[in-house]
Structure 1
Amino acid sequence: MTGFALGVDQEEWCGRLRALSARRLRPLAEKGEPGRVNRPLLAALGEEGLLERVFVSGALELCLLRESLAYGCTEAETALALQGLGAYPVLRAGSPAQRERWLPGVRAGRLVAAFALSEPGAGSDAAALALAAERDGGGPGGAAAGVDGVDSVDGRGWRLTGEKRWISNAPEADFYTVFARTGEGPGAKGVTAFLVPADRPGLTGEALDMLSPHPIGSLAFDGVPVGPEDVLGEPGRGFRVAMDTLNLFRPSVGAFAVGMARAALDATLVHTSGRSAFGGVLADLQAVAHRVAEMATRTEAARLLVYAAAGAYDSGSPEVPRRAAMAKLLATETAQYVVDHAVQLHGAIALQRGHLLEHLYREVRAPRIYEGASEVQRTIIAKELYREVAAR
């Protein structure tokens, strides 16, 4: 890939993914129940080897994968991304035993993963987590001894008490990557990441009625026991686990948005070039043509910024936080603009249930909020810019 175009092999691979989305994945998505995990769709993603690609791909390949799936089937894209988001901390920070136990099932689409970071009082400010991991005595009856019989070095485990909310795939996931406050230091320095199976005693969940085709729910932790074998990485280093995951997935959220924008743009080109109006077609009207040109230009700019952020991640650039934030910000805001104007140019038909744009209009709003709202991305960008100035 150059700075401006994909290679022939990459373009062909993206084309095959778009065709697969339309041929196999879209029919499975349409049979799914809104607000529930679509396990047949997950199984198909596993059978096609796409879930495996999430864990072996670089950031650019992940972006191309998500963009191509989003173009043809947003539900398939979201199902794949949520598997990656929930299980990537296990891949990067998990022990050999954790990886062996959970990742094969995730790759095959048999096990459902979830990333449990947000709380009722800690959405955008992830460092303000309140879910408490309180130390518990080891030995007989202790939390550490009660979880697979393994004690920590000092003979103690933890009990999780509190709530998580707006967690994708909850309460139907098979395991959760959970971030809790263990108190080694203030703010982000006192957060630990845990792998918590869904059947752990004291863990319950409730579905939330959200504008989303996939499940989103809350989780209640009533003294849930966890031991050292459940820790992902090191105690007190969980915030870094979360940020490493988000730095990889933020550009690919932008890719998801670009895929939706490109689908909306292509639908608009077809509609406006064929729809009769005022003695010609809509495309003959300068107001329409100029709007389409603006939609296309913004989409292309967002696409290139996403690819640049992914390239920065793959090259190990120190600019990853800034570039990832820029990519997510511009791409998600652009997708909202493009889909909204596509609806306007289509007119009433775009609001009919089942129309592509009616679907995209509902899907496009959430990415501006999750994995860091647009306002958070602007804050990250500004902080990184001023940090660079101070370093010079």
Structure 2
Amino acid sequence: MEKAIQPQKLFVASCLALLVTSLSFGIRAGILGRLGVEYHLSVEQLAIVAGTAMWGFPLAVVFGGFIVDAIGMKRLLVAAFFLHLIGIVLTVFASGFWSLFISTLFIGLANGTVEAACNPLVATIFPNDKTTKLNHFHLWFPGGIVVGTLIVFFLDMAGIGWKIQVASMIIPTLIYGYLFLKLDFPVTERVSQGVSNKDMYKAVGSPLFIFMFICMFGTAITELFTGQWVGVLLKNVTGNAILILALTAGVQTLGRAVAGPVVHKISPTGVLLLSAILSALGLYMLSTVSGNMIFVAAFIFGLGVTYFWPCMLGFVSENIPASGALGMNLMGGAGMFAVSIYTFFMGGFYDRIISSQLPAGATLDAFRSAAAGTAEAAAYAQAESVAGPEILRVTLIIPIILIVIFAGLFFYTRTKKSQPLQTA
């Protein structure tokens, strides 16, 4: 008997799984500073912990891309459920750098496994509207960041500690795990269409795919590095740094909800070009303005990064369809790997900027952990107000480069409208 595939229920369960992924980003962004103080971690160590989720993600998403056609999307999502559960519990009971490192690695692996299965699942169950539905699916990433940051904000106000904030992710994890265990899954689109492994590997080796793969480095860093670190980078520039992340993610959520008309009216490549322009403008403003203008900057930046991730995946799925699940997962893996490497280097760079602003011979941890109201605490806060915007100004180079690249892609695709883009 043919299995009863229920696309809408599969889509809802996929969105819940992505919600857990994004909650981990939002909550971790909100508690990073406290983890540093509580466990006496430098910003470089915090960057390693946060970056662990970023490189755990590509490890899982690329591995999943190679095996999803063979083992099926359901098995991957059951694995994601257990990885999320283990990672959350280990984080709650963490006691220092290495326990945070290991727990964050589990969560990163879970997040990557969700993407490895859900991106091809969405493309498979909505074959005629891939880019729009991928945008609708990915709106739950910024949507979950909004929820996560608000959880941190309001529970902080209520005096509830970060361990309870992290533990709140267990509820949606149990729900999506239950739903996926109940539902039947289709085979991936590539398998259903009979595309051979040879054609798939030829597609991911095509010049267009390699070009988009490299571009994914820049779009992911622009969006995810800034979002994950805004609470640290701007906490001494504004008293509401965590709300900047909530605003940015909220704009992304609304933007992706109306992705259909936007993408169809402008074209995916036009959207990518406009995104790069707005991202660059938003990052420039975040690094230079102060007061309430920071929220205007966050709004513009949020508009800029709204369509980066789903449009990059949608472009590859629609224009290089033979690349299948592997192509989409290699793209996602490329993005997160780039973010993990960039985060590692920027963490060390941030510490060096801080050190240069402190008195000669000063110990970072002593100044970072100084009691409020002391001269050391004031000196450290002043150093942070210099370091955060400087990191953003360095990162601004990336979307400026993307403007040039996507302008070229936009005009290239306009001249090739009557020809297939795929050369594989």
TM-score normalised by length of structure 1: 0.34
Structure with more strand by fraction = 1
More helix by share: 2
Relative to the length of structure 2, the TM-score reads 0.32
Structure of greater Rg: 1
With a CA cutoff of 8 Å and minimum separation of 6, indicate the structure with the bigger relative contact order: 2
